[in-house]
Structure 1
Amino acid sequence: MTRLTLAAAGFALCLSQAAYASSDAAWNALFAKVNGTCIGQSGLNTPEASAPVVFDDAAGKIALLMRGQTGKGKSKVNVSLICLYDKKTGKASIAEYHWLGK
């Protein structure tokens, strides 16, 4: 009886882990949404974006580093931005950052 109980518990544990796993397609869809939201709000003319930095579920955030230019003509300015995307609300906050005090 003990063996059967252990086998059933092991099987249930495997099933519960599978239920929490996300597919590659789900991650790719989330990352596309993050990119679209962050790049759309950035105001950059030709943005470059980093790979997403995924924080743990307790934080519930994904960060994206971006760089590019704002403005038009001779008034173009190079900027570096960080976007913090909230997985629960789907909202993003963007701030400019300076690498190593530059």
Structure 2
Amino acid sequence: MHTRYWAVAVGRDAHRHRASLESAVALSATRYRLGDVFDVHDLEDTAALPRHAAGRRVVEAVEALQTGAVGVPAVVVDTSTPTTIGLGDSFVGGFLAPLAGPRNR
């Protein structure tokens, strides 16, 4: 599950997906921030942005209450020109990228 404030995976193997959640949050937030054209440095810049405080609290609460849950708070993005179309697809692509392994990067 994800919102604009956090992303959480729940289940027996959820712990295996923390990197995928981080990647998904970074990719979708970068698209939101910059649109269609960006590179790996832009992704790194996005990942270094502050994390959403309320999202962090939700993630901490879910991880404390739900055995096997893992989550990441979203980054705080401030832009006057957000790109909102394709964010779900970007999130899924970002989630899948770490699962593809280093040979496909």
Q: TM-score, normalised by structure 1?
A: 0.28
- Structure holding more helix per residue: 2
Q: TM-score, normalised by structure 2?
A: 0.28
Larger Rg: 1
Q: Which has the higher contact order (CA 8 A, sep 6+)?
A: 2
